[in-house]
Amino acid sequence: MELFWELLVSGLLVVGGFFGLVGSYGLVKLPDPMTRLHAPTKAATLGVGSVLIASMVYFAAFKGQVTAHELMVTLFLFLTAPVTAHFIAKANMLRDHRPEDLPRPEGEGDWAVYTPMSDTSAEELVETPELTDEDRR
Amino acid sequence: MIGYALAFAIGCFALALLFNLYRVVRAPGVTDRILALDTMAVNAIALIVLFGIQEGTAIFFEASILYAMTGFVATVAYAKFLLRGDIIE
């Protein structure tokens, strides 16, 4: 049984190190900013996640300390990685792309990055039909 | 066996931090620098956790949680500053 836990922890550590390295190598290697955004936010997050799970398994199997701290860190990283990627992509759009070069988004309005002061949600509120007495019946 | 895997993982993340440092120093645009700094924070979390496994103590998790939080807030603040010229409007 001990061998199984050792194999599991070692495998998770090797996979985590590999993916962390691949994510950071992609940051150096890939050609343009939007593809560079792709590598670390996915691969590096996966690598760190498997390292954290390896740590959790290690402390549970060999030290007798069953904790959920690592799961908290993993959850936090997995929740925040898309948010940071989205923010960096928006900043990149604003700095490196002109709105004429991009396809228009669906529906009314333009990309919110280029028209920050417009409030499309207010127009949507006006356009939604109010409930009449017949609908309520 | 865990010792070898641990050494391999620490080496991988150290090399990854060097790649990130290269990208921070020689970046084509400022968003690449932000992305590289964010990835550095993520890789540093992995290194802290690996050091915790090596030492056999669970005391480094608080450090990694704090690192994750400050890294996230710093990245969002930097991107927000680029987007709007202001962080809290």
Using an 8 Å CB-CB cutoff, list chain A residues near B27. none
Whether the predicted pLDDT of A121 surpasses 60: no
Assess: ipTM above 0.90. no
B50 touches chain A (CB under 8 A): yes
What is the arithmetic mean of pLDDT over B1-30?
91
Contact indicator for B12, A54 with CB cutoff of 8 Å: no
Other beta carbons within 10 Å of B55: 10
pLDDT value at position A129? Answer: 54
Q: B73 pLDDT band (50/70/90 cuts)?
A: very high
Task: Write out the H or E segment, with its range, that includes residue A69.
Answer: helix A69-96
What is the arithmetic mean of pLDDT over B20-30?
90
Average pLDDT, chain A: 82
Selection from A19, A4, A62, A9 nearest residue B3 by Cα: A9
Alpha helices in B1-86 (DSSP H): 2-25, 30-55, 61-84
Farthest-apart Cα atoms in chain B, separation:
53
Q: A117 pLDDT band (50/70/90 cuts)?
A: low
pLDDT value at position B2? Answer: 86
B48 touches chain A (CB under 8 A): no
pLDDT value at position A134? Answer: 60
Whether the predicted pLDDT of B47 surpasses 90: yes
Whether the predicted pLDDT of B48 surpasses 60: yes
Distance CA(A15)–CA(A12), nearest Å, equals 5
Please tell me whether residue A130 adopts helix, strand or coil conformation: coil
Domain map (residue ranges) of chain B = 2-84
> What letter would DSSP give residue A117?
T
Whether the predicted pLDDT of B87 surpasses 80: no
What is the arithmetic mean of pLDDT over A74-91?
90
pLDDT value at position A32? Answer: 86
Whether the predicted pLDDT of A122 surpasses 70: no
| Per-window interface: A 6-35 vs B, CB < 8 A | 6-7, 9-11, 13-14, 16-18, 20-21, 23-25, 27-28, 33
Contact indicator for B32, A33 with CB cutoff of 8 Å: yes
Residues 6+ apart with CB under 8 A from A130: none
Other beta carbons within 10 Å of B34: 24
Whether the predicted pLDDT of A94 surpasses 70: yes
- Tokens 């150096």 label which residue? A28
Nearest to A10 among B1, B56, B58 (CB): B1
Angle made by CA atoms B64, B46, A37, in degrees to the nearest 5: 105
pTM of the full structure: 0.82
Whether the predicted pLDDT of A125 surpasses 80: no
Q: A126 pLDDT band (50/70/90 cuts)?
A: low
What type of residue is A7? L
Q: A34 pLDDT band (50/70/90 cuts)?
A: confident
Residues 6+ apart with CB under 8 A from A80: B68, B72
